[in-house]
């Protein structure tokens, strides 16, 4: 289909800058993008017939990594760990 309707994984590498230019960066557009990303993750890993702890664990691990990134500046300055 047309470039604006393709998802990120289907866009060819050469067309990537153009896709980024066409992309909708308004608040509604971003919110819609987040919604789409979340629902694809949810339907692929959590909303399955015989799900296990894996789907949620990946989400929680991602949350831990995000928190680490958010805290990095503060963590890097802890005095007794700086030398290590």
Partner 1 sequence: MNLSFFDQFASPCLMGIPLILISTLFPSLLIPSRNNRWLTNRLSTLQSWFINLITKQLMIPLNKNGHKWALILTSLMTFLLLINLLGLLPYTFTPTTQLSMNMALAIPLWLATLLTGLRNQPSASLGHLLPEGTPTPLIPALILIETTSLLIRPLALGVRLTANLTAGHLLIQLIATATSTLLPIMPTISILTILILLLLTILEVAVAMIQAYVFVLLLSLYLQENI
Distance CA 21, CA 16 (A): 9
* Residue reference for tokens 């067309």: 15
- 25: contact with partner 1 by CB under 8 A: no
End-to-end alpha-carbon separation of the chain, Å? 53
**Which range in 5-13, 18-26, 41-49 contacts partner 1 by CB under 8 A?**
41-49
Enter the tokens of residue 20: 């980024």
- 16: contact with partner 1 by CB under 8 A: no
Residue whose CB is less far from partner 1, 19 or 41: 41
Distance CA 23, CA 30 (A): 9
- 55: contact with partner 1 by CB under 8 A: yes
Candidates 12, 25, 69, 82: give the one binding partner 1 (CB under 8 A): 69
Task: Name the site residues for partner 1 (rule: CB under 8 A).
Answer: 38, 42, 46-52, 55-56, 59-60, 63-64, 66-71, 73-75, 78-80
């Amino acid at each position: 289909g047309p470039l604006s309707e393709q998802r990120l994984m289907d866009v060819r590498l050469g067309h990537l800058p153009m896709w980024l230019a066409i992309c909708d960066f308004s608040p509604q557009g971003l919110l819609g993008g987040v919604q789409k990303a979340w629902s694809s993750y949810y339907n692929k890993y959590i909303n399955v017939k015989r799900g296990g702890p894996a789907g949620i664990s990946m989400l929680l691990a991602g949350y831990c990594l995000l928190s680490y990134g958010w805290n990095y500046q503060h963590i890097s300055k802890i005095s007794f760990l700086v030398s290590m």
